[in-house]
Structure 1
Amino acid sequence: MSQRNESRSARTRACSFALAVTFGLLGAASAMAETAADAPKAIDKAASTLESLKELDGKAPARRSLNIQSWSTAEGARVLFVEAHELPMFDMRLLFAAGSSQDGANPGIALVTNAMLNEGVKGKNVSAIAEGFEGLGADFGNGSYRDMAIASLRSLSAADKREPALKLFAEVVGKPTFPADSLARIKNQLLASFEYQMQNPGKLAGDELFKRLYGDHPYAHPSMGTAKSIAPLTLAQLKAFHAKAYAAGNAVIALAGDLTRAEAEAVATQVSAALPKGPALAQTVAPTEPKPSETHIEFPSKQTHLMLAELGITRGDPEYAALSLGNSILGGGGFGSRLMTEVREKRGLTYGVSSGFTPMQAQGPFMISLQTRAELSENTLKLVKDITRDFLANGPTQKELDDAKRELAGSFPLATASNAAIVGQLGAVGFYNLPLTYLEDFMTQSQSVTVEQIKTVMNKHLDADKLVIVTAGPTVPQKPLPPPTDKPAEQPLGVPEH
C-alpha cells in the first residue's frame, strides 16, 4: 500500500505500537472515552448525585453487587458475564494462557504473535481493520504479558453495530493472516526498542532482577524477548503458536454490558467457534527459591536504581487480602506508607519508593524499587532493608491498619465502577480460577484482618535476609544519610531519571 493511501488510523496505530514497545507496554487494552456529546449529560448526572464529605464521613462507601453468570462454550472456553444496561454498549475481553511464560525456546514469540493479530485478515489489511472498527464506533485492544495474552472489544450493543463488530473481532483473533511485511516492521520496531533500553538503567536492572530471581523458570526472560531471539522468528512459528495458544480451550471470555443472557451466549458462541480448536495449555510450573544475592550494573548517571525482590505469592493465595493490606502499610500505599515516610518525607532521599506483590499463575515477585542519589545509594539500600526488617519484626500499628482498611473501603468501589473495570475483574477471576464471590470475599477478609495476622503472613512470605538485590548506577564515593527530620534540608530530585 502506498504511503499516500495509508489511512490516518493505520499511521496512528503504528506510532502507538512503536511507543508501546519502546517502553515495554505493548498493546495494553485500550478504553473508549465518552464522546463530546455525552460529556455534558455525564457532568449533569454526576453533579446531581454528589454528596458532601461530611455526609459520607463514617459511612461505608456503596459497592456495586455483581451478579456473575458463568458457563462454558461447546469448544471449551470459559465465559463470565455481568448484565448491565446503564449504557448502550458492552465490553468483552478474551484472555489466553499465551503470555511470555509460554515462549519456550523462542523468547518474544508470545508478544509478536499478539501484536500481529490485527495486522491482517482475509481481504483486509491493517488499515482496513482499523477503519472497520472505527466506522462501527468500536474499539479493539490487545496485549501480551508474562501469564497471559489478551484481546478486547468495546462496541455499541445495537445489533446493527454489534454484529459486524463481532464478526471483524472474531476474524482478527481467530483467523489472522500474519502478513510478512507487518512482521518485518514489528521486528524492526522491537529491535529499535532494544537499542533504546540499553540506555535505560531501570530496564537493565529489572531484566537482571528477573534473571536472578527466577533462574531457568519461564518468568526469567523479558516478555519482549531479546534482539537475538526476535530476529529469527518466522511466520510459520507465529502461526503454530497461535494455533496452540489461542485455542478456544485455552481461553476465558469476560463480558459485561448491555446484553441479555441470550445475547451474551450468542456473542460467546460466535467468538469461541472462530478460534482454533484445542485444549488449555499446562499451567506454569512453580519456581525454585533463589539464593540471596546483590548485583550491581555499572551505568553513568546521577542516580542509582535500587531493586529488591523475592518470590511472592500466586494469584489464588488465600492470604492475599492480609498480605495486600500489609504491603499497603509497608510501601504500597503511597504517601503515608512506612517506606515513603522514612525514605522520602523524613530524609528527602527519593522522589518515590514503592513495594508490591505481583501475584501470578506461579509465584510472582514481591518487589521494592526506588531511585536515589548515587552517592547515597549504599546507605539508602541499608535503610530500606532496615525498615523492611523492622516492619516484619514488629508489624503495623493499629492506627496504620485502620487507615489502610479505610482507604481500601473508599477505593474499592472503583473496581466495579465501569463495564471496562468489571471485565478486568471477570477476566482475572476466570483466568486464575478464583471463586465467583472473590471480590466480596476479598473485602470481607480485608476488613476483618488483625495486626497480628498481618505480622504472621508477612513473615511467612518475606524475609529481609533473603532478598535478591540489583542496583544500576555509577560507582562513586558514598556519603552518610541525612538525619530524619520533618523538613529535610535537601528535597528529593524532581523527576526520576529514565
Structure 2
Amino acid sequence: MTDSTSIAPPAVTANLSSAEGIDLSQFEQVRTEVQAWQTSHGTQVRFVEAHQLPMVDLIVRFNAGTSVDGEHSGLAALTMYMLDEGTERLNAEQFAEQTERLGAILSTQIRLEHASLSLRCLSSEVVLAQAVALFTEMLARPAFDAQQLVKVKQQLRAFQSSRYNAAPTRAQSELFSRLYAGHPYAAPLGSTEQGIQALTAQDLRDFHQRAYSANNLQVSIVGDLSRAQAEALVEQLAEALPQGWAAAELPPVSPTSAASAHVPTPAANNTLLLAVPMSGRPSQADYPALVLAADVLGSGFDSRLMQELRQRRGLTYHISCRPSPLKAGGVLAIGWDCAAQYREASRELVAGMLEALVNEGPTNAELELSRRQLSGQLVRSVATNSGLVELLSKGSHQGLPADHLVTYQAQLSAVSARSARQALQEHLDLSRMVTVSLGSDQPQQPLPPLPHSDR
C-alpha cells in the first residue's frame, strides 16, 4: 500500500480553504420582498420584482376547482381545458401559432379548490405586451367551439381513465369518498364519463361567466418589470374578465366514522393510504408545528417511517406523510406500497407510529433536522422565478400574509417539542382514521422478523 503522506496534494486543490468550522446547517435567510394589493375589481395580487433574468412568470388562480362542479360533474375541468382551444378572434390552431411565435409557455392545473393558469415569457416590452394580451384573450373571451369541445371531451375522458387506473390516484379517490362522504371533496378526480358527456358548450359559457370573474381571482407575478408595469398588467387582465361573482364558501365537512377498506386489483403489490382529519389551517400560528411534525414522521430519508419501514424492515421503497390544508376540512395522509401479504401488518405499524407521535411528540433533534430540510427547500424554491411564483400563488390561496416567506424560517425555529405535540393533539382526530388499500388480496401474515442487528 502506498503511504498517502508521501503524495503531494494536486495543484488544483492548492488554493482551497479548509471547510472546518463552517456550519452547513445554517441556510441563508429569505429576504424576498413581496408587494401585495387588491385592485378595484377585487382581484388579489402578489408581486416580486426580479431583474436578474429578462423573464416574467405569472400565475392566475380562480376559485373554480372541481369542488364547485355542483350537479355537473366535470364542469370545472372541462371549462379550464377549453380555454386554450381558441378564442372569439382566433381558432385553436391560430392561438397555438401565436403562442409559439412569442416563445411563451402556457400551462394549466385543476385541483379541488382552484383552477390555475400560468404564463412565462420574455420581459421585453413588445413580447410581454403581446403575450399578456393573448393570455387575457384566452381567459376572458374563449370560444368554447362545439367541434373543439368534442375533441377535448375525448381527451378528458381518456385522461381521467388513466388517472383512475393509476394506483395512487385511485387510492386517493377511494380515500376521499369515505373521508368526505356527502361533501364536494368526496370526488377528487372531479369528472365522471357520464358527467363529461352531458355537458354542453353553453354550460361552459355560463360557468365561465361566473367563476372566471375578476373578484374570484388571485394573481401572482415574479419577473423583470416594475410595480407600475405589474399594476397595469393586472388591471388590463381584471378589466377584461367578467365582473361581480365569487364562488360560495363550501360547507364544512361533516364528521365521518373510522373505516378501513381494501379494493382488489390485479396489481401484485398493495398501495395504501392512511389518513386522519386535520383541523389546522396555514393561517393559524401553530400550523408550522404540524408541518414540522409531519416532516419528522414521513418526509425524507431520515424520517421515522422511512427508517422503520424501509431501512429496518425492507417493507417498502418509499413512504411519505403530507398535510393537505383544504379550506372546508384538511387531512393528514400517509402513503406507501408493500407486499400484499403485509398489508394489514404494515397498516397497524404505520397507525401505531402516527399515534405514538401524537401522544409523545417529536424529539428536539428530529425537529432540528426537519427545520434544516424545510429551510433548505424554501431557499431553493425562492432562488428561481418559477419556484417563487408558485410559492406566492400557494400563499395567497391559503390566506397567508404577504411577508410569510420572510417570517417562515423564524416560525419554524420557534416550534418546540412541546408545541409540536400540542398542535398534533389539537388538530388531528385519530378516532376518525381512514385507511384504503388497492392490490391483490392475499392471506395476511405478521411482519417478518427484524434482522438480528436491529432487534
Please confirm whether the aligned pair reaches a TM-score higher than 0.5, indicating the same fold. Answer: yes
Extract unaligned runs of 5+ from structure 1: 1-49, 489-498
Counterpart pick for 1:321 among 262, 265, 288: 288
Kindly report which structure 2 residues correspond to 1:55-66, keeping only aligned pairs within 5 A, or say none. Answer: 56-58=22-24, 60-66=26-32
Q: CA deviation at 1:205?
A: 2.4
Aligned residues of 2:173 and 2:189 also touching (Cα < 8 A): no
Runs of 4+, deviation exceeding 4 Å: 50-56
Q: CA deviation at 1:486?
A: 7.9
Moved more, 175-184 or 407-416: 407-416
For residues 29-72 of structure 1, the C-alpha deviation after alignment (integer angstroms, 9 at most, x for no partner) is xxxxxxxxxxxxxxxxxxxxx99865752563223412222222
Provide the residue aligned with 1:363 in structure 2. 329
Provide the residue aligned with 2:366 in structure 1. 400
Say if 2:234 is the partner of 1:277.
no
Say if 2:238 is the partner of 1:301.
no
| Inter-partner Cα distance in structure 2 for 1:250 and 1:203 | 28
Q: CA deviation at 1:134?
A: 1.7
| Inter-partner Cα distance in structure 2 for 1:130 and 1:51 | 53
Amino acid at match of 1:303: N
| Inter-partner Cα distance in structure 2 for 1:195 and 1:406 | 40
User: For residues 295 and 400 of structure 1, do their structure 2 counterparts lie closer, same or farther at Cα, with a shift above 3 Å needed?
Assistant: same
Moved more, 347-356 or 124-133: 124-133
Counterpart pick for 1:474 among 440, 447, 450: 440
Moved more, 304-313 or 50-59: 50-59
Provide the residue aligned with 1:496 in structure 2. none
Q: CA deviation at 1:280?
A: 2.6
Counterpart pick for 1:79 among 11, 24, 45: 45
Provide the residue aligned with 1:95 in structure 2. 61
| Inter-partner Cα distance in structure 2 for 1:386 and 1:152 | 42
**DSSP 3-state at the match of 2:116:** strand
| Inter-partner Cα distance in structure 1 for 2:142 and 2:303 | 47
Provide the residue aligned with 1:187 in structure 2. 153
**DSSP 3-state at the match of 1:120:** coil
Provide the residue aligned with 1:250 in structure 2. 216
Q: CA deviation at 1:197?
A: 4.6
Counterpart pick for 1:263 among 212, 219, 229: 229
Moved more, 263-272 or 462-471: 462-471
Amino acid at match of 1:328: D
Q: CA deviation at 1:237?
A: 0.7
User: For residues 52 and 290 of structure 1, do their structure 2 counterparts lie closer, same or farther at Cα, with a shift above 3 Å needed?
Assistant: farther
Q: Across the two proteins, how many residue pairs are aligned to each other?
A: 438
Q: CA deviation at 1:194?
A: 4.1
Say if 2:67 is the partner of 1:113.
no
Aligned residues of 1:315 and 1:360 also touching (Cα < 8 A): no
Amino acid at match of 2:359: A
Kindly report which structure 2 residues correspond to 1:17-36, keeping only aligned pairs within 5 A, or say none. Answer: none
Amino acid at match of 1:108: G
**DSSP 3-state at the match of 1:243:** helix
User: For residues 138 and 203 of structure 1, do their structure 2 counterparts lie closer, same or farther at Cα, with a shift above 3 Å needed?
Assistant: closer
Counterpart pick for 2:131 among 159, 165, 171: 165
Say if 2:70 is the partner of 1:104.
yes
**DSSP 3-state at the match of 1:202:** helix
| Inter-partner Cα distance in structure 1 for 2:333 and 2:285 | 20
**DSSP 3-state at the match of 2:198:** coil
Aligned residues of 1:96 and 1:251 also touching (Cα < 8 A): yes
For residues 418-452 of structure 1, the C-alpha deviation after alignment (integer angstroms, 9 at most, x for no partner) is 22222212212322322112222322111111111
**DSSP 3-state at the match of 1:294:** strand
| Inter-partner Cα distance in structure 1 for 2:367 and 2:59 | 35
Amino acid at match of 1:366: L
Aligned residues of 1:385 and 1:464 also touching (Cα < 8 A): no
- Percent identical pairs in the alignment equals 35
Q: CA deviation at 1:110?
A: 0.7
Counterpart pick for 1:214 among 180, 185, 191: 180
Say if 2:195 is the partner of 1:229.
yes
Moved more, 70-79 or 267-276: 70-79
Aligned residues of 2:343 and 2:444 also touching (Cα < 8 A): yes
Provide the residue aligned with 2:383 in structure 1. 417
Say if 2:297 is the partner of 1:330.
yes
Aligned residues of 2:160 and 2:189 also touching (Cα < 8 A): no
Aligned residues of 2:104 and 2:119 also touching (Cα < 8 A): yes
Counterpart pick for 1:484 among 419, 442, 450: 450
**DSSP 3-state at the match of 1:231:** helix
User: For residues 324 and 53 of structure 1, do their structure 2 counterparts lie closer, same or farther at Cα, with a shift above 3 Å needed?
Assistant: farther
Amino acid at match of 2:70: G
Q: CA deviation at 1:92?
A: 1.1
Query: Over the residues paired in the alignment, what is the CA RMSD in angstroms?
Result: 2.1
| Inter-partner Cα distance in structure 2 for 1:425 and 1:195 | 30
Moved more, 298-307 or 86-95: 298-307
Amino acid at match of 2:261: T
| Inter-partner Cα distance in structure 1 for 2:17 and 2:109 | 38
Amino acid at match of 2:312: K
User: For residues 339 and 410 of structure 1, do their structure 2 counterparts lie closer, same or farther at Cα, with a shift above 3 Å needed?
Assistant: same
Provide the residue aligned with 2:3 in structure 1. none
